[in-house]
Amino acid sequence: MAKNRDHNQQRRVGSAYLTSGISITLVLFTLGFLGMILLHAQNLSDYILENIGFEIIMADQTKEAEILQLQKTLDTRPFVKSTRYITKEEATHRLTELLGEEFTGFMGEADNPLLPSVDVRFKAAWANSDSIAKIEQEVLANPQVKEVYYQKSMVNLINTNLRKISFILAGFSLLLFVIALALINNTIRLSVFSKRFIIRTMQLVGATEGFIRKPFLLVGMAQGALSAFVASLLLYLTMSGLITQIPELEVLTGSVTRLYLYLSILITGIVITFFSTYMAVSRFLKMKPDHFYG
């Protein structure tokens, strides 16, 4: 009879560990998937912003050496991601492709009104209206520059929409994190609740609170680490499947970024389970004996 009772107790404890482990794994997987979405959204935002720039139209009769010197100077500036020198011939070719006909055919090469230019792309942090306006004034101070061209309304629209999307994603992420924290905490509390009589027995034999907490904390941290590993594996398999279907996703997040995400999931799993276990065990340590049966 006693052996059956011990066997049933061990089975209940094992079932509690399995249930809580699966629950924690699913919650961490959800958090990790959201983190991956946020990383992709941030990298996509940077990718869009870094394609914002302007075209510096050079003054007529400006020597190529002077244009190349200006380009070299721009490449050293902290706000520039990349530059590209566009000759008169290349500008003519681009316009011909756009119009679908030979642009200089009816004007002659000598009458080509197009001017050489430097195409500038900014780093994401500088791709906003205020920064671009300051950079524009600085560039226009150069006497070799005729004008600076970019679509101001498009820059404002892109920044406004990206800002709105960022606020929505940040709010949703915070809400989901709070929900996940509550779910993991309740899961661990239920797991500890199934072992409350073990805690009571250890108290009766004179064990200190630190001695009672230690095995629970170690098991909780191990459970958090194992759940985080499984969640990371599931996330890896999910992302591999998505990248196979949508190869462009590979460009948005590199392998190093994903490695940091998996490491963050591991740390999150260990930290949350540690504190949740600590609070749950502390609650039962302070519980009155007659409440153990409630």
Tell me which of 217 and 256 has the higher pLDDT.
217
16 Cβ contact partners less than 8 Å away, ≥ 6 residues apart: 190, 191, 194, 195
Biggest alpha carbon–alpha carbon distance for the chain: 107
Query: At a CB cut-off of 8 Å and minimum separation 6, what does 86 contact?
Result: 55, 94, 116, 117, 118, 119
Cα gap 152→159, rounded to integer Å? 11
Work out the mean pLDDT of the chain and round it to a whole number: 80
User: Would the pLDDT of 290 be above 70?
Assistant: no
Q: 82 pLDDT exceeds 80?
A: yes
Q: What is the 3-state secondary structure (H, E, C) of 257-281?
A: HHHHHHHHHHHHHHHHHHHHHHHHH
Nearest Cα neighbor of 66 from 152, 166, 144 is 144
Q: Which of 24-33, 165-174, 204-213 has the highest mean pLDDT?
A: 24-33
Q: What is the CA 278 to chain-centroid distance, rounded?
A: 30
Three-state DSSP state, 149: strand
pLDDT at residue 121 greater than cutoff 80: yes
pLDDT of 2 = 46
> Distance between CA 26 and CA 178 in Å, rounded?
15
Q: Is 261 exposed, middle or buried (0-12, 13-18, 19+ CB in 10 A)?
A: buried
* Helix, coil or strand: residue 133: helix
Cα–Cα distance measured from residue 63 to residue 281, given in angstroms and rounded to the nearest whole number: 78
Q: How confident is the model at residue 248 (pLDDT cuts 50, 70, 90)?
A: low
Instruction: Quote the pLDDT of residue 226.
Output: 92
Band of the pLDDT at 292, cuts 50, 70, 90? low
- 98-107, 111-120, 130-139: which has the minimum mean pLDDT? 98-107
**pLDDT value for 1:** 47
Angle at alpha carbon of residue 239, lines to 233 and 241, rounded to 5°: 105
Rounded-to-integer distance, Cα 220 and Cα 275, Å: 9
Domains along the sequence of the chain with CATH? 2-47+159-293 (no CATH), 53-149 (3.30.70.3040)
Cβ-count burial of 70 within 10 angstroms (0-12 exposed, 13-18 middle, 19+ buried)?
buried
**pTM exceeds 0.95:** no
Phi (first) and psi of residue 93, to 5 degrees: -65, -40
Rounded to 5°, angle at Cα 99 from 96 and 103? 45
Q: Is the pLDDT of residue 141 over 50?
A: yes
Higher-pLDDT residue of 85, 100: 85
Helix (H) or strand (E) holding 145: strand 145-149
Residue 21 has pLDDT above 70, yes or no: yes
Alpha helices in the chain (DSSP H): 2-49, 64-75, 88-99, 129-140, 152-193, 196-204, 209-245, 249-252, 255-285
